[in-house]
Amino acid sequence: MEYFEHFPPKIETTAPFLLTEKPTIDPTCIIRDSYVGAYTQLMKNTMLVESSFGDYSYTAGDVQIIYAEIGKYCSIANSVRINPGNHAHWRVSQHHMTYRPVQYGLAEEDDHDFFQWRRDHKCIIGHDVWIGHGASIMPGVKIGTGAIIGTGAVVTKDVGPYEVAVGVPAKVIKKRFSDEIIDKLLISEWWNWSRESLEVNFKDLFVVDTFLAKHI
């Protein structure tokens, strides 16, 4: 028996890890027909298919994002699924052979209309949204800027800006700020600041009153 304080061994470095305009993408990620913005990070086993991923947003790994638009500054925790697959439960068999028959040698083409439905019901995630560990965002759902989605939530209905939604199915339990403050934050559109503006005004993002006094 052997005791390990840390495995694999820690690697000492003299410089911090820095994100840049070039996306930081783990080699285990799968990306297909998607746009990835600047200062982004996609950690291990992230899948991004026919989607856009806004500047400064990141995934914490094992995330699947299909047919979706992700805003800027979004924080997506481990094991999140955005626009998960569907099954044709209205048919005699709901098995995926009914829409992927080519794999089974049962047809020469797959059911393209079935997949187009998911494309037509893409998920729209606003800016600065925090999605907790293991949450699922169902097809067609829109989540407003500044919202929080709780751990393990299954979101079947739209969530408004700066609302907090938790549970299965997810329900809104509160708002992060008053309606007056929310309106002002939305008007500010700080997420569209240039890099230069972000660097100059970065500390203003820490305190709401300070931010509103200076930028509204």
pLDDT recorded at residue 197: 97
Instruction: Give the number of residues written for the chain.
Output: 216
Mean pLDDT across the stretch 171-195? Answer: 98
For residue 92, tell me if it sits in a domain. no
- pLDDT by residue (tens digit) across 11-58? 665 556 789 999 999 999 999 999 999 999 999 999 999 999 999 999
- pLDDT by residue (tens digit) across 87-127? 888 899 999 899 899 999 999 999 988 888 889 999 999 99
| H-helix or E-strand spanning residue 52 | strand 52-53
Query: Domain of 58?
Result: 24-83+121-176
For residue 107, tell me if it sits in a domain. no
| Gap between the Cα atoms of 34 and 128, Å rounded | 20
- Do residues 31 and 74 share a domain? yes
Answer yes or no: is pLDDT of 178 > 90.
yes
The answer to whether 50 touches 33, Cβ cutoff 8 Å, is: yes
- Do residues 30 and 71 share a domain? yes
| Gap between the Cα atoms of 192 and 201, Å rounded | 13
For residue 202, tell me if it sits in a domain. yes
Q: Are strands 136-137 and 148-149 parallel, antiparallel or unpaired?
A: unpaired
Angle between helices 208-215 and 179-188 (to 10 degrees): 50
| Gap between the Cα atoms of 89 and 87, Å rounded | 6
- Do residues 138 and 193 share a domain? no
pTM of the model: 0.90
Catalytic residues: 89
When mean pLDDT is compared across 97-106, 169-178, 190-199, 205-214, the lowest value belongs to 97-106
pLDDT recorded at residue 159: 98
Q: Locate tokens 């729209």: which residue?
A: 124
What's the total number of domains in the chain? 2
